[in-house]
A and B are shown apart, each in its own frame.
Chain A
Amino acid sequence: MSVNDANVALFMENAAKVAAGLHQIAGKDELQGKLAEIVEQDVDVFCPKQTELEKFAAGFLDHLIPQYREAWVTVEEVTAAIAETGSIVCTSANGKAVQASLIPSHHVALVPREKIFATLDDFFVEYGVSPSTNMTIITGPSRTADIELNLVIGVHGPEKLDIIIV
């Protein structure tokens, strides 16, 4: 197993622990089928169409709308992922709207496998020097335990998080 295979495996194991839906596809040609399986039918979808991967994914998405505020689901490529904690990272760099991963009920994150860092320290070595205005490390969907410590998924942020490793 290469270093990267180990990162992918650890990332998947840890992300699954925090109630994220995990999907791995062998190549871009499997993306269409995977999105059809994950993204709800007949709901408004936001996709920033900024990266090559997002532009490619947008081709398979119906009901695309330009405003994330009104969308039910966001499909986007994230900046990075961290194996140690099963986290994905969204940043405001390159004019990205970090709120697109917050306001819609369903967040579908596309993670290129080479963007998975092994540890938090590795991530900050690269991204901690001159951080973008907003950098949000996301570990599972929004949650609370404020009522009798009962876990409820989906408070103010997404109720569902799906991660597709490409």
Chain B
Amino acid sequence: MNTQTSLNFRTNAAAAIKDSSLRKAMRNATETFGSKRTVAMASIDFEVLREKASAIRMEVINNLPAYIEKFTSNATAAGAIVHRAVDAKSANQIIAGILKDHDVKMVAKGKSMVSEETHLNAHLEEEGFEVVETDLGEYIIQLEGETPSHIIVPAIHKNRQQIGKLFHERLGMEYSEDPQALTKFARKVLREKFLTADAGISGANFAIAESGSLVLFTNEGNGRMVTSVPPLHIAILSVEKILPSLDELPTFMRLLPRSATGQMLTSYVSILTGNRKEGDVTGAQELHVVLLDNGRLEILKGDCREILKCIRCGACMNVCPVYRTVGGHSYGWTYPGPMGIILTTLLTGMANSYSLVDASTLCGACNDACPVKVPLKEMILKQRVRRVKEGYSSTAVSLGMGLFGMAIKHPLMFSTGETLASKFWSVMRTVGGENVAGRLPSPAKIPFSRRMS
């Protein structure tokens, strides 16, 4: 269902607000995350740790080409085959090519937001491969033909009744709305897939430059399955996900799960270094790593490069009053919430996303929650400035803001405006329609400033 685009944020959001089951699901999820996060943070010094994490990520971003090279050479030395993909299309082609070379029919896939960004599944299915998502949330939305609405919990927008109905209709399971029964049923169906898949595809949370390792944080065990059971493993990740060495990993092990799900640590942290070597009985025979750029190196040159520090925990969306109300699908692209606004405008272009920059109250809750200190609020403001400069705000808005800007500097003009507004509001409110004056409340009969004197 790729009917939504980032240009339709306002329409999407208006529809989402009227969807009471979505609102209930979002409230439940973000409140639960909020309280679990608070409890988990009590056992660490968040400010000290995030200062440290921010510095580590900034060091990598400031020297990104060198770190990419170091990771590539060490991963290769460990037996991995590293590919560089400039854009989504080339990443998909590389992966389809590897699968073809190995005569693969069925792929078991672990959760990867980068593969959502490249629309990998659609591409592989067109090429004739069977792709099975194995993360429970991803499996649910794959069955439904939807996209994730949250980067950590992809099916956060669905309730148990909807999932029960889906499993009944699509998998022939006797209707149940018990999460336990639904999960166990999926376990049985997917176990078969893991054991018979010709290849596994996964994402990765981090790549380690010094050892050439990949690091995956998972809870269900499907990530471990797809990376270690099939003979061929392909990992796709974006180029900026590098940490200098495993020494830095503990800082992120303390921050990432706490920020994402409020856990002290995820059930599994897998550190994969190269392919299966002599004497090993674990590991894929062949490991391919696809490093995707898709616009990141361009971001590196600009004034929003700090967004590349992002470790995809989802904390900024869980605390965002806009995300909490409208859910992830309203944003229209892969990444929702505050980090999503910035990545979407930078990676897909202002022309395709300018309505998104309104999707923030600039309250700054995202800045407070971010475990790597990305200045999200300031970057959203920068995107608003960019929208005006690049000419994507409507003439009515520009004219109105220009006049208002002039008026607040000139008291006489301001009070004249106030008088005019109170007399001719019914005419003025039609200016710009619903998007401009139409949304504003009627002006008071006597302005506040005159009541004071």
Choose one: A14, A97, A136, A152; the contact of B281 (CB below 8 Å): A97
Choose one: B156, B224, B280; the contact of A95 (CB below 8 Å): B280
CB distance from A40 to the nearest CB of B (A): 18
Residue A147, interface by CB 8 Å: yes
CB distance from B35 to the nearest CB of A (A): 11
Instruction: Check A95–B279 contact: CB distance below 8 A.
Output: yes
Q: Which residues of A contact B240 (CB under 8 A)?
A: none
Instruction: Check B267–A99 contact: CB distance below 8 A.
Output: no
The bracket for how many chain A residues form the interface is 35 or more
| A18-B264 in contact given A98-B228, A136-B224 (Cβ < 8 Å) | yes
| A137-B269 in contact given A143-B219, A143-B220, A144-B219 (Cβ < 8 Å) | yes
Instruction: Check A99–B28 contact: CB distance below 8 A.
Output: no
Instruction: Check A147–B264 contact: CB distance below 8 A.
Output: no
Instruction: Check B283–A92 contact: CB distance below 8 A.
Output: yes
Residue A134, interface by CB 8 Å: yes
Q: Which residues of B contact A18 (CB under 8 A)?
A: 264-265, 267
Q: What 17 additional pairs, Cβ within 8 angstroms, besides A95-B280, A147-B140?
A: A85-B265, A98-B228, A128-B246, A131-B211, A132-B280, A133-B277, A133-B280, A133-B282, A134-B270, A142-B220, A144-B136, A144-B219, A146-B136, A148-B159, A150-B179, A154-B183, A156-B187
Q: 26 A-B residue contacts at CB 8 Å?
A: A87-B265, A95-B280, A97-B282, A121-B247, A131-B211, A131-B213, A134-B272, A136-B268, A137-B265, A139-B269, A142-B220, A144-B136, A144-B137, A146-B136, A146-B140, A146-B155, A147-B155, A147-B160, A147-B183, A148-B25, A150-B180, A155-B187, A156-B187, A156-B220, A157-B224, A157-B267
Please list the residues of chain A having a beta carbon within 8 angstroms of any beta carbon in chain B: 14, 17-18, 69, 85-87, 92, 94-99, 102-103, 119-121, 124-125, 128-150, 152, 154-158
Please list the residues of chain B having a beta carbon within 8 angstroms of any beta carbon in chain A: 25, 28-29, 32-33, 134-137, 140, 153-156, 158-160, 163, 179-180, 182-184, 186-187, 190-191, 194-195, 211, 213, 219-222, 224-225, 228-229, 245-247, 249-250, 253-254, 261, 264-277, 279-283
